[in-house]
């Protein structure tokens, strides 16, 4: 599972994500207030009880906040403002607790789906990505025949191949059994770190925050 240096070289000009004086309110009351800079390769962990606004924060950052909420503040990637861009133009990648692989596509098809259109050596990139997570030769497999941990690794590589500029993680390990969980944590955070991407992690699990190794914010 050693990382291939070439794979990341075109991704080294990574940027910081600045959540600038953000206040989100609901029915005229402040739900959450955050002012944070996430450095390239750093993971900011956001914790808090149910209803404290974790999903709302992710929806704001990703660009699909419900109009029921009012947001004040800005979101920047270095000096580029993101909060006034539609979701698909922000370049923010998401990783959820379910791998959400396309069931009608092979493992390779799922990974190719993540690749930007202008990439020419698609086959090689997919091969390398699978090698990087110990799934060499899995291109033709039906995702349904993979274990939960294998599916999670495919989802991670699909995310990274899509060349996001920042990553949001929503309870990404909560459905994995204990044995797999630590292995996936280590893999996900080392890959994000190596790719130099700023990331925001929402979790209930203190062990996630510990492995992420970055600052922790408690909501609510």
Distance (Å, whole) CA 189 – CA 175: 17
Output 23 or 97, the one with its CB closest to Mg ion. 97
Output 54 or 158, the one with its CB closest to ligand ADP. 54
Choice from 5, 12, 68, 144 touching ligand ADP (CB under 6 A): 68
| SS3 call for 36 | strand
Choice from 40, 53, 172, 198 touching ligand ADP (CB under 6 A): 53
Beta bridge partners of 18: 37, 76
Output 111 or 167, the one with its CB closest to Mg ion. 167
- Interface with Mg ion, residue 55, by CB under 5 A: yes
Choice from 52, 97, 128, 182 touching ligand ADP (CB under 6 A): 52
Distance (Å, whole) CA 110 – CA 74: 33
- Interface with ligand ADP, residue 137, by CB under 6 A: no
Tell me the closest approach of the beta carbon of residue 209 to Mg ion, in angstroms: 16
Distance (Å, whole) CA 32 – CA 52: 8
Considering only residues 67-126, where is the footprint of Mg ion by CB under 5 A? Answer: none
Q: How many residues bind ligand ADP (CB under 6 A)?
A: 12
- Interface with ligand ADP, residue 63, by CB under 6 A: no
Give the dihedral of Cα atoms 182, 184, 185, 188; nearest 10 deg: 160
Question: Considering only CA atoms, which of 122, 120, 132 is closest in space to residue 156?
Answer: 132
- 12, burial (CB in 10 Å: exposed 0-12, middle 13-18, buried 19+): exposed
Distance (Å, whole) CA 75 – CA 34: 11
- Interface with ligand ADP, residue 45, by CB under 6 A: no
Tell me the closest approach of the beta carbon of residue 220 to Mg ion, in angstroms: 11
**Residue ranges in contact with ligand ADP by CB under 6 A:** 26, 31, 48, 50-56, 66, 68
């Amino acid at each position: 599972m050693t990382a291939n240096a070439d794979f990341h070289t075109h991704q080294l000009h990574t940027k910081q994500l600045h959540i600038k004086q953000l206040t989100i309110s609901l029915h005229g009351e402040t739900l959450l207030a955050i002012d944070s800079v996430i450095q390239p390769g750093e993971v900011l962990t956001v914790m808090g009880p149910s209803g404290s606004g974790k999903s709302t924060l992710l929806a704001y950052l990703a660009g699909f906040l419900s109009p029921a909420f009012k947001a004040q503040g800005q979101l920047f990637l270095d000096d580029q403002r993101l909060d006034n861009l539609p979701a698909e133009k922000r370049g923010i990648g998401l990783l959820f607790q379910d791998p959400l692989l396309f069931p009608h596509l092979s493992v390779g098809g799922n990974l190719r789906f993540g690749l930007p259109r202008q990439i020419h050596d698609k086959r090689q990139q997919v091969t390398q990505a699978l090698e990087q997570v110990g799934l060499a030769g899995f291109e033709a497999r039906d995702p349904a025949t993979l274990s939960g941990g294998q599916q999670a690794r495919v989802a991670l590589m699909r995310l990274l191949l899509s060349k996001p500029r920042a990553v949001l993680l929503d309870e990404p390990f909560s459905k994995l059994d204990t044995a797999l969980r630590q292995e996936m944590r280590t893999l996900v955070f080392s890959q994000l770190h190596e790719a130099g991407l700023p990331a925001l992690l929402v979790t209930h699990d203190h062990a996630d925050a510990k492995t992420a190794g970055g600052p922790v914010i408690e909501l609510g």
